[in-house]
Amino acid sequence: MRIGKKSRARRTLGFYRSAFGIKQPYRVLAAANLGLDLRVELPKVLGGRAEVVVTRAVVAELRSLGKEFKSATATAKRLPKLDSTGSGQAGAASASVLSAVENGNARRLCVLTEDAALQQRLAALSGVPLLRFARQVIVLEPPQRDERAAAEGAAEELARANDRRAALAPDAPDAAPKKRKRLREPNPLSCKKKKPAPAPTSSGASGEAGIKKKNRENTRLYP
């Protein structure tokens, strides 16, 4: 795939991813000739992993086309089937594809088809990436103008709904004020003034001096 086609495919897939949630691994509902190895070609186009699925009606239609499509029929039989029940009648392939993606494409499918009439009907649906063959090369169709407008309108409506929800929400409660520490009163016993040490009395000082004098006299009398 050329660089220009790769960039266009990347922009297209980016639109479907943001608007409709279609992302890897891509599930591609094939309603076309399965002669190509889609497991190799689709990752090149989509730029990521891809899983090919079919409906039972598609398998029945390929079988009805005869020996020319014998290989494609054998390939389709081995692929995962979207519908576990169903008529599986030939001619119901287009209806089975439309029923798989209508009403919002809840399965997030891409569709690969060669049927021009089916392509037109799929283009009228929103959120369905469409792939087709162009000279044996798979091409991812860009989204339709109406599809872009619908996606933008849905995004705007969602934004307005979020704004209304935010306006109706009650104000957040103010943060509770921090509890201030209570100042404790000082211990009254620790506030009592210490008593000053008693000063030596004059009688005590004179008595001590008298004892020293008497000791000196005794020393002189009894050497």
At a CB cut-off of 8 Å and minimum separation 6, what does 100 contact? Answer: 29, 55, 82, 83, 107, 109
Q: Rounding to the nearest 10 degrees, give the CA dihedral for residues 69, 70, 72, 76.
A: 130
DSSP code of residue 171: P
CA 126 – CA 146 distance, rounded (Å): 8
Q: Tell me, yes or no, whether 182 lies in a domain.
A: no
Tell me: pLDDT of 29 over 60: yes
Give the per-residue pLDDT at 166. 75
DSSP code of residue 49: -
Tell me: pLDDT of 157 over 70: no
Q: Tell me, yes or no, whether 209 lies in a domain.
A: no
Top mean pLDDT of 21-30, 60-69, 70-79, 134-143 is at: 21-30
Q: Tell me, yes or no, whether 77 lies in a domain.
A: yes
Q: Of 29, 17, 19, which Cα lies nearest the Cα of 101?
A: 29
Q: Of 62, 32, 61, which Cα lies nearest the Cα of 138?
A: 32
**Confidence label for 85 from pLDDT (cuts 50, 70 and 90):** very low
Cβ atoms < 10 Å from Cβ of 40: 9
Cβ atoms < 10 Å from Cβ of 99: 15
Question: Which has more pLDDT, 34 or 126?
Answer: 126
Q: Tell me, yes or no, whether 184 lies in a domain.
A: no
Q: Tell me, yes or no, whether 181 lies in a domain.
A: no
At a CB cut-off of 8 Å and minimum separation 6, what does 17 contact? Answer: 23
Q: Could you report the per-residue pLDDT of 101-119, keeping only the tens digit for each?
A: 999 999 999 999 989 999 9
Count structural domains, the chain.
1
DSSP code of residue 113: E
Task: Give me the mean pLDDT over the 138-154 stretch.
Answer: 75
CATH number at residue 92: 3.40.50.1010
Q: Tell me, yes or no, whether 176 lies in a domain.
A: no
Tell me: pLDDT of 88 over 60: no
Tell me: pLDDT of 62 over 60: yes
Q: Tell me, yes or no, whether 157 lies in a domain.
A: no
Q: Tell me, yes or no, whether 211 lies in a domain.
A: no
Task: Give me the mean pLDDT over the 54-78 stretch.
Answer: 89
Q: Which residues constitute the domain of residue 107? A: 5-150
